[in-house]
Amino acid sequence: MPDTSPDRPSWTEAERLAALRDYEILDTEPERAFDDIVDLVATLFDAPIAVVNLIDEGRQWFKAEKGLGVRETPLETSFCAHAILEADRMVVPDATQDPRFACNPLVTEAPGLRFYAGQLLKSAEGLPLGTLCVLDTKARPEGPTDIQMKALEVLAAQVMTQLNLRRSLKHQQRSQAEFRAIADSMPQMVWSTLPDGFHDYYNARWYEFTGVQDGSTDGEGWNDMFHPDDQERAWARWRHSLETGDPYEIEYRLRRHDGVYCWTLGRAMPVRDEAGRIVRWFGTCTDIDDLKKMDQAKELLSQELSHRIKNIFAVVSALVALSARQYPEAKPFSQALRTRINALARAHEFVRPHSDVSQPLMGDMTLHGFLAALFSPYTDDEGKPRVRISGDDATFDDQAATSVALLFHELATNASKYGALSVSGGHVEVTTKEAEEGDFHLAWRERGGPEVKGVPQTAGFGSSLATLSVEGQLAGKLSRNWNPDGLEVLIELPGTALSRRKAARTLTTS
């Protein structure tokens, strides 16, 4: 419990001593800056003795002294130990007349002190550390002058300024040493630059990884450490960050000590002052080579898997054809089944994760691209598509792909048997539209085909499959209008139908 009563200090002796020791001044060599101050004080007071006195545990230690000839004395005989209990200053005109000091051996015996004036030395946090004081062997009943006391106050403040500067410098050096210790023990490479991007610091890991000489990558030398193909890109990003203050992030290949380029993630953030000006950049390089290799292995595996899957489609398709060979009456059935299998295989090709190598040869990885590929067999004499696609494009994922593939495969097959694609000159308009509230509308309109004479008596399996794809799999609505000039199929899909995975992800992350 802090005691705030006027005759008891608000600090404990332990706190005071901790504060004093934090200055790391005790038992240091004399310094000119402090010696000059005690000289000046002695002169101003025309007194033989002046000291910068710090009250340690059991002793008082003098950073600077004039007229004493010793660096420390025991606390028992100290005037200043009393002074630090006083507010800011203490004046004793004649010690023999002061009950606190009359029996003090320094008063009763040599050197026979009489006069004392001390100004408190207070830490920045308000803890008393000691005094700047002046002593005389002659009593001064008239006391010091106002000017003398003012000078003492100013000079005591000067002593504290010196001590505080010293302490700040020490703290800064310590935090720098701590930073270096942390940076050097990190598995990552750490670097730092001036605001203009001049590299002036790298941690031990950088030198260990790259094997270059200390300091050899200072300034702009860092860029040469990266793969020639990455240097220009790295410069461009770095320049951009320097100009804008945007965080820097890049993946590039860093040359290891053995000459091998390793994939590295480079990042940097600016450090700003109170006014928001960038004063420094701190950056790291993280070795992500193993991660990259794992990614590449994953990509290979994914390609291999996808190849297997497509091969299975081909084998199943061949198996169906071979099985049907013995039963000529099953040929139309087997052909219909095979075209459906082929449509699914095509869907798979479009939506699996792709790299540059595995991308389909034709078209974009979007709904329109997919539909264009699916309808590519239907062309007129000039090679122009007979199924014309227009409207808003969309991306879609593997979960939606099989349903979309089956739906449009059935519509196209039906049209080529009975509808607009069964006669030359007929065509189909497919329009896609992003409707309100994120819904997605698709319309299939046949034009120029045979006249439609009402709703057909029986619905084939193909149309059931189309309905099932939309209403069962995609949670949408499918309606057919048997208009005389051609079949119209309207499909309404909820916004999430085309990318269910993405929708699920958005839900879990929001």
Partner 1 sequence: MPARILIVEDEALVAMELRFVLEDLGYEVVGTAADSAAALKIAKETEVDLALVDIHLSDGPTGVTIGRELAVDHKVAVLFMTANPGMVRNGVVGAIGVLSKPTEERIVQDAVAYALDLRSGAVRNMAPPQLQLFEDGPRA
Min CB(313)–partner 1 separation in Å? 5
Buried b (16+ CB within 10 A) or exposed e, 116-133: bbbbbbbbeeebbbbbbb
Min CB(186)–partner 1 separation in Å? 42
Give whichever of 314 and 475 is closer to partner 1, judged by the CB atom: 314
Give whichever of 171 and 307 is closer to partner 1, judged by the CB atom: 307
Give whichever of 326 and 457 is closer to partner 1, judged by the CB atom: 326
Q: Which span (94-102, 118-126, 127-135, 375-383) binds partner 1, by CB under 8 A?
A: 375-383
Measuring CA to CA, which residue among 104, 64, 84, 85 is closest to residue 94? 104
Give whichever of 299 and 434 is closer to partner 1, judged by the CB atom: 299
Q: What is the 3-state secondary structure (H, E, C) of 67-122?
A: CCCCCEEEHHHCCHHHHCCCCCEEEECCHHHCCCCCCCHHHHCCCCCCEEEEEEEE
Give whichever of 325 and 433 is closer to partner 1, judged by the CB atom: 325
Site size toward partner 1 (CB under 8 A) is 32
Q: What is the 3-state secondary structure (H, E, C) of 205-229?
A: HHHHHHCCCCCCCCECHHHHHECHH
Q: How far apart are the first and last CA of the chain?
A: 48
Min CB(456)–partner 1 separation in Å? 26
Give whichever of 111 and 332 is closer to partner 1, judged by the CB atom: 332
Min CB(355)–partner 1 separation in Å? 9
**Residues 6 or more apart whose Cβ sits within 8 Å of residue 334:** 320, 321, 323, 324
Q: How far is CA 23 from CA 60, 124, 164, 267, in A?
A: 15, 11, 8, 38
What is d(CA 506, CA 259) in angstroms, rounded to the nearest whole number?
Answer: 44
**Residues 6 or more apart whose Cβ sits within 8 Å of residue 23:** 123, 129, 163, 166, 167
Min CB(363)–partner 1 separation in Å? 11
Give whichever of 11 and 313 is closer to partner 1, judged by the CB atom: 313
Query: Bridge partners of 115?
Result: 136
Residue where the block lists tokens 């509808």? 419
Min CB(239)–partner 1 separation in Å? 35
Cis-peptide, bond into residue 111, ω within 30° of zero: yes
Give whichever of 10 and 376 is closer to partner 1, judged by the CB atom: 376
Binding string to partner 1 for residues 345 to 374, with x set by CB under 8 A, is what? xx--x-------xxxxxx------------
What is d(CA 499, CA 397) in angstroms, rounded to the nearest whole number?
Answer: 5
Position 317: which residue type?
Answer: S
The answer to whether 102 and 78 have CB atoms below 8 angstroms apart is no
Residues 296-335 contacting partner 1, CB under 8 A: 303, 306-307, 310-311, 313-315, 317-319, 321-322, 325, 335
Give whichever of 17 and 309 is closer to partner 1, judged by the CB atom: 309
Q: Phi and psi at residue 274, in whole multiples of 5°?
A: -60, -30
Query: Bridge partners of 262?
Result: 254
379 binds partner 1 (CB under 8 A): yes
Min CB(299)–partner 1 separation in Å? 13
Q: Phi and psi at residue 111, in whole multiples of 5°?
A: -85, 5
Give whichever of 176 and 335 is closer to partner 1, judged by the CB atom: 335
Binding residues vs partner 1 (CB under 8 A):
303, 306-307, 310-311, 313-315, 317-319, 321-322, 325, 335, 338-339, 341-342, 345-346, 349, 357-362, 376-377, 379, 383
